[in-house]
Amino acid sequence: MNTNTESNILEVLPDFNQIDLASIEKASLMRRRDSKYVYSVDAIPEILKALPEYYYILEIENTRSHPYNTLYYDTRDMEMYHMHHRGQLNRQKIRFRTYESSDTVFLEVKEKNNKGITIKKRIRSNGSRGIILSKEEEFLASVTPYQQDEIIPVLENTFNRITLVEKHQKERITIDYNLRFM
């Protein structure tokens, strides 16, 4: 992404009233219906300009665009990936997600059930990102059919995220940009 485009995105963010991380927990939406859309990054500033009346923006330490790092796990034969691409329901994703602005790491399991509902379960990780500790192994065993020795790291990405929370806290919009895969 060119720096002009990112500057144009960042210029719109002060138009929003802020919401802090503690308040956003009310709208964490760990059980939700997801819709995903792909837009040209050049369209983001115009989209954002239409929203300050209806949405708050997450602000952490005076920052409104936050870096994330995600390390995805799968089986050696990429079972979870193939289930996703076949559109199979009752599937899961396993990942370590680092929320860099708040300096927290979670081991997260996202499940898409047969009703199209996304359910996210997670535990805070105290170890190094990517190293599954006994507490995390117990968590995985309780929420997935996979054992630690059945999964391996398969994909890592980084991105910036803008999080908007509808003023009645019934929905959230996340806008991800600067996606990079490693």
Could you read off the pLDDT of 28-75 as tens digits, one per residue?
667 777 888 999 999 999 999 999 999 999 999 999 999 999 999 999
Model pTM above 0.95: no
| Three-state secondary-structure class, residue 131 | coil
Complete domains list, the chain, with CATH: 3-181 (2.40.320)
> 């500033």: which residue's tokens?
45
- Strand pairing partners for 161? 66, 176
Tokens of 132: 């599954």
- CA nearest neighbour of 25 among 61, 73, 58, 70: 58
Which 8-state DSSP code applies to residue 44? Answer: H
